[in-house]
Amino acid sequence: MEEIDIIKPDDWHVHFRDNEILKAVVPETTRHFRRSIVMPNLLPPIINAEQALNYKKEIENAIPQSDNFEPFMTIYLTENINKDELKFAFDEKAVFAAKLYPAGATTNSDSGVKDISKIMTTLETMAKIGMPLLIHGEVTDKKIDVFDRERVFIDEKLDNICKKFPELKITLEHITTKDAVDYVNDGNKNLAASITPHHLALNRNALFVGGIRPHNYCLPILKREIHRKSLLKAAISGNKKFFLGTDTAPHLKIDKENACGCAGIFNATYCLAILAQIFDNEKSIDKLENFVSKNGAFHYNLGLNKEKIKLRKIQEKVVFRRYVNVGNDKIKIFEPDFPIYWRVDNY
């Protein structure tokens, strides 16, 4: 038997949704993670301090007593966002960062930004006050192939933002391509990237194994093996520019197994066990703590967590719970297509 103790991890990208789904999924994250950045793409989106604080309260009410967890709230950038309100929300510590969704890029992103030139003065304010910018880095032009949208976003949008605002702290979220890894590696010190467990575990073949697999559908979409390998190399490198953001994104089973299935993979429950297995398979378990517990905190200028967790490798394959129940429906828990022998102790 093998075991390791690591600093309690943080998840720098989660979707908790709201109401019944929120109540069901919050404990799946707070069980293993100490802090998370919470996405603002509700309907309607979170666009001011008051909404962010109300949402934070709803999350806090769903945290089990046994868990010590802190949600970091975000504001949804729109073309009409009020800069003073944004600054107020940040100064009052109601929010930690702002999220840029290109309009139509993913779930509930219709109020997102169509023309980035319209938010340049907002980005300037953010750079000045030290507010991080979180980016869903995909163009939404229907003429651009869905597998190329991240690369084109980097070339046509991100490069311009990075050059104009080298002091702006930017996270290119849930990166999926070698192009993104290379760009972030070569980019300025304020540019970093988060990576999800599912993009480390699967390539795009997983969407079509013996039939269409709606539970492996997410945005940005899974890519070719060459890209997965590049993400893996970045994750296990220990390089401070790459850290965990799970993008755990619950949808009800009925909305996934549907003629127009929603994008998003719910991975919170076994995320750490899966990552431990992936790092172990690469003989890099010693780099797991950097990826899940340290690099993100460094990027956001936060202290490291004081608590620790224990990960244990067992003889028998771990048997996963398959669903989280929500009322009469349920949410499918992400399970990769390889065996997992790691588990977080006591759970």
The residues carrying an active-site annotation are: 247
The alpha carbon torsion through 150, 153, 159, 162 (nearest 10 deg) reads: -80
In 3D space, the residue among 91, 92, 89, 111 whose CA is nearest the CA of residue 100 turns out to be 111
Q: Which helix (H) or strand (E) holds 54?
A: helix 49-61
Name residues whose C-beta falls within 8 Å of residue 284's C-beta, 6 or more positions apart in sequence.
236
Query: Is 153 or 342 the residue whose CB approaches Zn ion more closely?
Result: 153
Minimum separation from the CB atom of position 27 to Zn ion (A): 20
Instruction: Say whether 6 sits in a helix, a strand or coil.
Output: strand
Query: Is 34 or 136 the residue whose CB approaches Zn ion more closely?
Result: 136
d(CA 9, CA 200): 17
Query: Is 71 or 340 the residue whose CB approaches Zn ion more closely?
Result: 71
User: How far from the centroid of its chain's Cα atoms is residue 126's Cα?
Assistant: 21
Is 11 a binding residue for Zn ion by CB under 5 A? The answer is no
How many residues does the structure list for the chain?
Answer: 347
Minimum separation from the CB atom of position 135 to Zn ion (A): 11
For residues 265 and 248, the answer to whether their CB atoms sit within 8 Å is yes
Query: Is 7 or 331 the residue whose CB approaches Zn ion more closely?
Result: 331
d(CA 269, CA 292): 15
User: Which two tokens mark 63?
Assistant: 């945290």
Query: Is 179 or 247 the residue whose CB approaches Zn ion more closely?
Result: 247
Number of residues that bind Zn ion (CB under 5 A): 1
User: Which residues ranging from 232 to 261 are in contact with Zn ion (CB under 5 A)?
Assistant: 247
Name residues whose C-beta falls within 8 Å of residue 93's C-beta, 6 or more positions apart in sequence.
none
The residues binding Zn ion (CB under 5 A) are 247
